[in-house]
Amino acid sequence: MCGIAGFIGNWGGLDRAGILAAMTTALAHRGPDGQGQWLDDRVALGHRRLSVIDLSDHASQPMIGPSGAVLVFNGEIYNFRELRKTLEEAGNHFRTDSDTEVLLRLWEIHGPQCLSMLIGMFAFALWDAQRGRVFLARDRLGKKPLYYCRNDHGMAFASEVKALMALPKIAANAEIDPLAMSDFLSLGYILTPKSAFRNISRLPAAHYAEYNVNNGSWQCFEYWRLEEHFLSPRLPHNKEINEQFMDLLTDAVRLRLRSDVPVGIFLSGGMDSSAVAAIAAGLDKASTKAFCVGFHEQSYDESVHAQAVADHLGIPLTILENRPADDALIQFLIGQVDEPFADTSIMPTYLLNENARKHVTVALTGDGADEILAGYPTYRANSYHKVVRRLPRGVMGGLSRMANHMLRPRYRKVGWDYKVRQFLRGHALSPEQAHYSWRTVFSEAEKHQLMGAELVRSCRGYDPFTTFAEAFAKVQGANFLDQSLFVDTKTWLQDDILVKADRASMAASLEIRSPFLDHRLVEFTARLPVSAKMDLRRQKIILKDVMKDILPDRVMRRRKAGFNAPTLSLQKTALSHPGPDGWFNQSHHLDPRREDITYKSFSLAMLGAWLQLFERFRETGYWKL
């Protein structure tokens, strides 16, 4: 796992090597084991290395291939050994044992077509001097980030925004994108391809881009279309399909256990992480060790469940100490994400990674199972919504008013009072809009109370739901559950779950791997019938079926818990900062007695911290904590 950065063109100053060094220094947490630079008169490429595969200096980057192509690569190609064997049989020779060299050789031979051969997570940039092109590519689901800026000066890219801010001409023109602020207030995250800044974009997942250094032209291509699998004929739901699912999941875990450094398992005691731990133990029990984080608040603590699973599997479990959330942690995390971001689970995720890094360099997680197998309560809410839409609006409106008046917040982990309020808020909406509303933080009316007049004008005509509607349109004809799974993969997973996982792990210089997000498994589950995912009683049905004889009954029966953090000590009832030119109203206050304000207050805390970071940036010209 690493950090990459680079630029093409004139970005200010004659010291191009110094500017590149500043970019890679900003990414030091992503790669504490080494750094490298490659420059010619047109292109500058930089790299920070976290050594995981082939720890020798021969595997350092930037790496130059036989054709003269130069590669900087962030991620892991899990099937690199199989790919290397095929290349060697065709007469190719290698000087390292790294996946980087395999990727470089594949690109030199096959060009962008090699992307379809890769099983892994990646973001990389490759300079092809023979063609005068720089290629940028990102993995199918967006596990590894890649930001870029294009203008008259040229093109620049980096793993994180902070590295781009090291370029004077990017920093000098950095303006907050009002549409990104609208995204954040609605969802708690920003939708791709936007970033928090007008002049910086994100390369979407499953895309590669080609930049012509001679004329500045830019082309972007989508190389993998998940919707095709959701729209394909359904597989049967039978014993053979269950076996195929288990074979794919087992192989995904097997590939992700490949490492030249210690590997651990993040174990919460829930179904997903327990399945990964069980398979890993079955493959190599002697090397399998698990980690979890404990909480003093009982409704949040999962360590007792994790211990029960570890005991059942006969593997060691280390329960890592959690520290209470505070403003200092908020400031640190917002500086890692570089953008407003309000997923409360980023706090325990970071603390888990920070503590686990003392023991291992790589960890496997259960991330992704809920997205591919309908594990979230929102999918249940979609089913209930079909029923309540048939009821008179007056009845549902009365129930909603009654709930708002009578339900008192309990401030437990995703309490039922919060769920009821969220559900009733979307009762009169279309199925697509209701699904979107289940995940919103502030309603449109609440957003407008928070947004100042100038920000409202700048966002006029924009609705974040448009991105969701466009995704729904791509899978029209599929069952609505499958439509929702596809939409969540392209929004919630890409822009929230995987952003959280990447920044929280890289802040601790630890690599995390997610077997459930192996693209072969994602494609397979997209073709499964609904009956293999969810019915009136169960969710993630096929996973439970294949694990029922492997995991204890208490795991099989346990309800979905999620990985959130208690935030009572951080609850803000008003925004602490007005933002540039009074973009936000500080007079808007939340009432913690009337509703559970956990997510809203956390959003205000994260937004306030980010606005303070931006204010310091405007004063000093430096994007830093």
Q: What gap in Å lies between CA 443 and CA 93, rounded to an integer?
A: 58
Residue 293 annotated as lining a ligand binding site: yes
Q: How many helices (H) and strands (E) does the chain have?
A: 26, 17
Are 424 and 556 in contact by the 8 Å Cβ rule? The answer is no
Are 231 and 478 in contact by the 8 Å Cβ rule? The answer is yes
| Per-residue tokens: 65 | 């291939």
Residue 99 annotated as lining a ligand binding site: yes
Q: What are the b/e assignments for 294-324, b being 16+ CB within 10 Å? A: bbeeeebbbbebbbbbbebbebebbbbebee
Catalytic residue numbers read: 2
Q: What gap in Å lies between CA 472 and CA 555, rounded to an integer?
A: 33
Q: How far is CA 118 from the centre of its chain?
A: 19
| Per-residue tokens: 254 | 């097997």
Are 583 and 615 in contact by the 8 Å Cβ rule? The answer is no
Strands (E), 308-434: 317-320, 362-364
Residue 363 has φ and ψ, to the nearest 5°, of -140, 140
Are 60 and 519 in contact by the 8 Å Cβ rule? The answer is no
Three-class secondary structure assignment of 350-384 = HHHHHHHCCCCCEEECCCCHHHHHCCCHHHHHHHH
Binding site listing: 99, 293
